[in-house]
Chain A
Amino acid sequence: MNTVTRAHLAERIYTQVGLSRNESADLLETVLDRLARSLESGESVKISGFGTFSVRQKGRRIGRNPKTGIEVPILPRRVLVFRPSQVLKAHVNGTAVPTGDEFAGDEE
């Protein structure tokens, strides 16, 4: 299966906007870093038509080492969750893309 990487995305920016390849790559990195910084501060990121990245707080729980069976505490932590928008889900299924007031990751 093909894998799309930073290089592909930077190349697309390069062909779409006509900036230099270097600047295209730098801008992609800036966007990713800006998303990361927002999530790091606990703030969710909503990209309409794509989805929502949010941070969820998980409480402490008792886990178990599956190999040894020994109980180990799993400390409270913050995890990242991504909820795809209806538009993205439709694209992935090749079905009709919903129109109207669809907003990132809000559904049901």
Chain B
Amino acid sequence: MTKSELIAELAAANPHLLGRDVEIIVGTIFDEITAALARGERVELRGFGAFTVKKRDARTGRNPRTGEAVPVDEKAVPFFKAGKELRERVNRGGKPARPVRERVVA
């Protein structure tokens, strides 16, 4: 699925919204996550996952073609860790959850 397919589906499911607004909604979500990470903040969406920024130290890399040593500067990389619920859903692959434990309703 792509961003445009996501927008199209959301628009079809919400006929009362303008197509332009649906684009803004989807755009706002990813733009805000980007902006937060750019400020060095983390984004935590319970059940879905967390976006964080990880620091990578400077290191000496190598040009794989020539074998020449090249300095690689310190940098920051965006990182996503799936939340427990999403991780389990992906691993189950759409199969219904196994009843792990019965919850007793008092």
Chain B contact residue count (CB 8 A cutoff): 49
Query: Is A77 part of the contact surface with B, judged by Cβ < 8 Å?
Result: yes
Q: CB-CB < 8 A to A46: which residues of B? A: 1-3
Q: CB-CB < 8 A to B1: which residues of A? A: 34-35, 38, 43-46
Instruction: Give residues of chain A (68-106) contacting chain B, Cβ–Cβ below 8 Å.
Output: 77-80, 82, 84, 87-89, 91-94, 104
- B14-33 contact mask (Cβ, 8 Å, vs A): 1 or 0: 10010001001110111011
Q: CB-CB < 8 A to A12: which residues of B? A: 28-29, 32
Decide: B40 and A4 in contact? CB cutoff 8 A: no
Closest CB-CB distance, A101 to chain B, in whole Å? 14
Q: CB-CB < 8 A to B13: which residues of A? A: 30
Closest CB-CB distance, B69 to chain A, in whole Å? 19
Chain B's closest residue to A80 (CB) is B82
Q: CB-CB < 8 A to A82: which residues of B? A: 78-80
Give me the interface of B with A, judged by CB distance under 8 Å.
Answer: 1-3, 6, 9-10, 13-14, 17, 21, 24-26, 28-30, 32-46, 48-49, 53, 75-80, 82, 86-87, 89-94
Give me the interface of A with B, judged by CB distance under 8 Å.
Answer: 1-6, 8-9, 12-13, 16-17, 19, 24, 27-28, 30-32, 34-51, 53, 55, 77-80, 82, 84, 87-89, 91-94, 104
